[in-house]
Amino acid sequence: MPNPGLSRTRPYPFARLRKLFEGIVPAEGKLKPISLGIGEPCHPIPQCIGEAIAQNISLMSSYPGTAGNPALREAISAWCERRYGLAPDPATEILPVLGTREALFSLVQCLVDPTVKGGAKVVMPVPFYQIYEGATFLAGADPVYLPLTRENGYKLDLSVLSPETLSQTQLVYICSPGNPTGSVFDLDDWKKLFALSDQYGFVIASDECYSEIYFEEGNAPIGAMTAAKACGRTDLKNIIVLNSLSKRSNAPGLRSGFVAGDRSLIASYLLYRTYHGSAMNPMIQAASIAAWNDEAHVVENRRLYREKFAVAQPILNSVIDAPMPQASFYLWANVGEDDEVFARELYRQTGVTVLPGSYLSRNVTLADGSTMNPGAGYVRIALVAEPERIGEAAERIRNFALSRK
């Protein structure tokens, strides 16, 4: 029998999108399709990555260790110190992972114990990155969905949970900057979360893979490490930070990221990964060192996103409610109608793909017993296409939205 959690998983948003568009000829074949649906970076891959790969092909002749090369862990630690003001110990507090996706999944398999009386709960935001939910199901735990709404600033608010739920909670996913809402946890939010983690003993898995996509140089979003340092928690107790080169360095295909945090959790996770068998290719490790050591390409990357937001956001916001995010490359736009219908008709008439917000979300029952879906009526617009196509896509969306008023 397969893992029973598999039957609890839901179709992935992009599979649902393909189904939604089945049989449609976009714009009657008259316009070139533009995809703002998938959050896949399209900017150039930095030169330092290509060079390091070319220079280190010979490294593939040996098996990599699960903990990675010490030089990679040192480069990550040095980057954390520059970025967050805290240098995790490269020997005990950092592990390379093959992108955050697999780590967001496998961490839960390793750190959650579903055999405890009453079962295990994992708290997550909705809308969300669906891996959080699948990881929870496959670990034999139950998700607790917390809605991100305009009213709560699109931030995870654990204060609505009962002490009973909190005491069953073993892990909380934080996504800051958030996909899809672009909201950022501030120091006060972190303080409240740390206090609850101290009280109830849950692990904080801080998904920070959009941390480098922000709009004002010198004003980077704070992360869990910065907050931990500000609170004197330099041991990173119960905190695991996840980040990767996918968005920062436009290299999603490299499959390179890291986890850093609480040394006892990292020790368990290293043991888990030894069996899991996902050591990083040594050539990719060399390329990752080069990428973490170089900030110039990241500054340029941000400049390109800034340019695209400057073009698209005012056009879109003039007809649909599409405010600037605090960070990330998404607009989380309230379209004022059924999000699936909006996305399907937009694709049919204009060839532009956006993702229906309800595909990233779930129905949530509120304290008063009512039910809501915080993704309903929203679409996620990923500003990932080439800069010259973003303006055209925004114009097409505007004209479409105007035609529906």
Ligand X SMILES: Cc1ncc(COP(=O)(O)O)c(C=O)c1O
Binding segment (CB under 6 A) for ligand X, from list 8-16, 96-104, 151-159, 186-194 = 96-104
R_g over Cα of the chain: 21
Half-sphere CA count of 340, side-chain side, radius 13 A = 12
By C-beta, is 179 or 197 nearer to ligand X? 179
Residue 264: closest CA among 227, 238, 225: 238
CA distances (Å), 370 to each of 162, 364, 365, 366, in order?
17, 8, 6, 5
Strand partners, 35: 353
List of residues 6+ apart from 23 with CB closer than 8 A: none
Half-sphere CA count of 389, side-chain side, radius 13 A = 16
By C-beta, is 181 or 349 nearer to ligand X? 181
Strand partners, 375: none
Binding segment (CB under 6 A) for ligand X, from list 27-35, 43-51, 95-103, 296-304 = 95-103
- x/- string (CB under 6 A) for ligand X, residues 321-360? ----------------------------------------
Half-sphere CA count of 1, side-chain side, radius 13 A = 4
By C-beta, is 26 or 374 nearer to ligand X? 374
Residue 243: closest CA among 230, 252, 253, 256: 256
Is position 246 an interface residue for ligand X (rule: CB under 6 A)?
yes
User: Which one among 35, 66, 100, 183 touches ligand X, defined by CB under 6 A?
Assistant: 100
Number of residues that bind ligand X (CB under 6 A): 14
User: Which one among 37, 41, 64, 99 touches ligand X, defined by CB under 6 A?
Assistant: 99
Could you tell me the smallest distance in angstroms from the CB atom of residue 23 to ligand X? 27
- Cα–Cα dist 293/78, whole Å: 8
Is position 129 an interface residue for ligand X (rule: CB under 6 A)?
yes
Alpha helices in 282-370 (DSSP H): 282-293, 296-317, 339-350
By C-beta, is 309 or 329 nearer to ligand X? 329
Could you tell me the smallest distance in angstroms from the CB atom of residue 131 to ligand X? 7
Binding segment (CB under 6 A) for ligand X, from list 94-102, 316-324, 351-359, 365-373 = 94-102
Residue nearest to ligand X (CB): 99
User: Which one among 93, 133, 189, 207 touches ligand X, defined by CB under 6 A?
Assistant: 207
Is position 301 an interface residue for ligand X (rule: CB under 6 A)?
no
Cβ neighbours, 10 Å, residue 165: 15
- Chain contacts with ligand X (rule: CB under 6 A): 39, 99-101, 104, 129, 175, 179, 207, 209, 244, 246, 252, 257
